[in-house]
Amino acid sequence: MNLLSYGLLGLLARHESSGYDLMLRIQPFWQAKHSQIYPLLARMEKNGLLSSRWIQQSDKPDKKIYMITDKGIHALQQWTHESVSPPVTRDEMSLRLFCLWLADKGSAIRMFEERKRHFNSRIAHLEGILDAIPAENLSFGSQAFSDYVLVQKGLLNAKAGLDWCNMVLKMMAAGDVKEEHNPFILKN
């Protein structure tokens, strides 16, 4: 039982869905390809955490719907009591910044503009999800509250990233203004 499998279990605890659908639902919060998800679901079913049935569709390909079992619910609740491991972020851009000093300004600007586009589309996507969350009953035990909290996590993060890009672009535009007079350089 790895972290991804608990994520899938958490999604299936809300409502049954196909592997394809799970892949799409988990995407914004945990990147996983279908080639990782399908075998994992099969293994989880073999271990009795899930059950499945096939749904025939006339217009689209048939699909396999997974649903969580009592054993699955139990495993999920056990997991809730364990401590959470710290986040792992692997961002090529961080590594790129190690050698920003030997890059030309033009390609640096393009890199930050590209990252701004990334954050803007992520913000748009998450705000779309946010709009779909029912505003009534946003109290602790509700699924809407879970969703709200999770989407805000991504949203605040993406906005911080966007702010950072804008800060850096302004600093680069300010050019060779001496740092004593540069309003962008703030230690704290």
**65 Cβ contact partners less than 8 Å away, ≥ 6 residues apart:** 16, 17, 18, 52, 53, 54, 55
**Interaction of residue 41 with DNA, rule CB under 7 A:** yes
Dist CA 48 CA 100 (whole Å): 51
Residues that bind DNA (rule: CB under 7 A) add up to a total of 28
DSSP letter assigned to residue 185: -
| Residues in 83-102 at the binding interface with DNA, rule: CB under 7 A | 88, 90
Q: How far is the CB of 11 from a copy of itself (least distance, A)?
A: 6
**Interaction of residue 134 with DNA, rule CB under 7 A:** no
Would you say 56 or 94 has its CB closer to a copy of itself?
A: 94
Q: Token digits for 136?
A: 């009534």
**Interaction of residue 33 with DNA, rule CB under 7 A:** yes
Per the CB < 8 A criterion, the answer to whether 158 and 126 are in contact is yes
Residue 7 interacting partner from DNA, a copy of itself, none (CB closer than 5 to 8 Å by kind) = a copy of itself
**Interaction of residue 182 with DNA, rule CB under 7 A:** no
Q: Of 63, 111, 125, 129, which one interacts with a copy of itself (CB under 8 A)?
A: 111
Dist CA 159 CA 123 (whole Å): 7
Rounded alpha-carbon distances, angstroms, from residue 20 to 36, 60, 87, 136, 159 = 11, 13, 25, 30, 29
**Interaction of residue 148 with a copy of itself, rule CB under 8 A:** yes
**Interaction of residue 1 with a copy of itself, rule CB under 8 A:** no
**30 Cβ contact partners less than 8 Å away, ≥ 6 residues apart:** 3, 4, 7
**Interaction of residue 57 with a copy of itself, rule CB under 8 A:** no
Would you say 16 or 147 has its CB closer to DNA?
A: 16
Q: How far is the CB of 104 from DNA (least distance, A)?
A: 26
